[in-house]
Amino acid sequence: MEYEDTSSQEHEQKKLVIRRDKVVVTKVTEQELSQIKETASRCGMTRSDFIRARVLGYKPRQRLSDRELDGLRQLAACRTDMVNFANALHGLTDNEKLRLFRHEETMLEWYEKVAHVT
């Protein structure tokens, strides 16, 4: 590994530069190449990075699909809502909490909002 001097006038720093200049050639079938391309793409990697990672024992993880990302965002939003709800309840007295939870219309409204999540 070589080090490249990237110092500025104010800071003296050395940045690690990895120079990959060696080539490994291997032959694969059309089907294998297609599978490598597809899997590397799903992991958000180039073919070269993917193959290097696999050869060195790393198992790249696939990126989340748009549907999975949307579900994760919805889950995060639900968590935020629950934290806000808990904080709002924290500020109430015990009697106010009892009155609130005994109010059937309010409880049904809350249930309808969270039923699709649960």
Rg (CA), the chain: 27
* Per-residue pLDDT, 12: 53
Q: Tens of pLDDT along 54-78?
A: 999 998 888 888 888 888 888 888 8
CA–chain centroid gap for 52, Å, is 23
Mean pLDDT over 43-63 rounds to 91
Q: Which residues pair with 2 in a beta bridge?
A: 17
Torsion of CA 76, 81, 85, 90, to 10 degrees: 40
Three-state DSSP at 14 gives strand
Position 1 pLDDT exceeds 60: no
* Per-residue pLDDT, 81: 80
* Share of residues in the chain with pLDDT > 70 (%): 86
Three-state DSSP at 109 gives helix
